[in-house]
């Protein structure tokens, strides 16, 4: 029985590490992109809290900016204080990290948060045009 203790303990450690449901890519010391329990609900997180209501499917970042996009069907913006009709299948969001961190309002009420933007609005003012979007499938 004693001889099995080491291999059993090792197998248990491997099994529990495989069950970790957290999958984030760190953007900086405050922001992350990924998911916790559901692979179908990715988001940008600040201090462990979601930044984009409804989540996002992809994100890209550089310097003080995070740009995210998500399918329109995931975003119930009819209840949002800043609700507006946005055509197209994708919605875009721009987060100014420093401004988001210094403002006490959360999500779309924060001055560091822009969106939702339509594809046309976003393509005219993409602040990171040369950066590709990342998904959780990239890592």
Name residues whose C-beta falls within 8 Å of residue 96's C-beta, 6 or more positions apart in sequence: 64, 65, 112, 113, 114
pTM: 0.74
Each residue's pLDDT tens digit, 45-99? 998 888 988 788 899 999 999 999 987 655 555 544 445 555 567 889 999 999 9
Q: Is the pLDDT higher at 44 or at 116?
A: 44
Give the CA radius of gyration of the chain.
19
Q: Which residue has the tokens 């210094």?
A: 102
> Bridge partners of 34?
24, 43
Domain limits, the chain: 22-138
Instruction: Retrieve residue 79's tokens.
Output: 């209840």
Segment (H or E) for 58? strand 58-62
Per-residue pLDDT for 119 more than 70? yes
Q: According to the model, what pLDDT value does residue 60 have?
A: 97
State what percent of residues in the chain have pLDDT above 90. 39
């Amino acid at each position: 029985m004693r001889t099995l203790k080491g291999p059993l303990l090792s197998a248990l450690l491997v099994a529990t590490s495989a069950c970790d449901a957290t999958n984030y890519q760190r953007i900086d010391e405050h922001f992350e992109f990924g998911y916790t329990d559901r692979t179908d609900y990715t988001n940008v997180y600040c201090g462990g809290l979601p930044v984009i209501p409804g989540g996002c499917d992809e994100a890209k970042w550089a310097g003080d900016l995070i740009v995210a996009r998500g399918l329109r069907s995931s975003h119930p913006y009819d209840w949002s204080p800043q609700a507006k009709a946005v055509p197209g299948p994708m919605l875009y969001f721009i987060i100014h990290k420093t401004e988001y961190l210094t403002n006490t309002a959360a999500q779309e009420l924060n001055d560091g948060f822009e969106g939702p933007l339509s594809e046309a609005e976003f393509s005219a003012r993409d602040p990171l045009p040369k950066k590709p979007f990342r998904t959780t499938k990239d890592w």
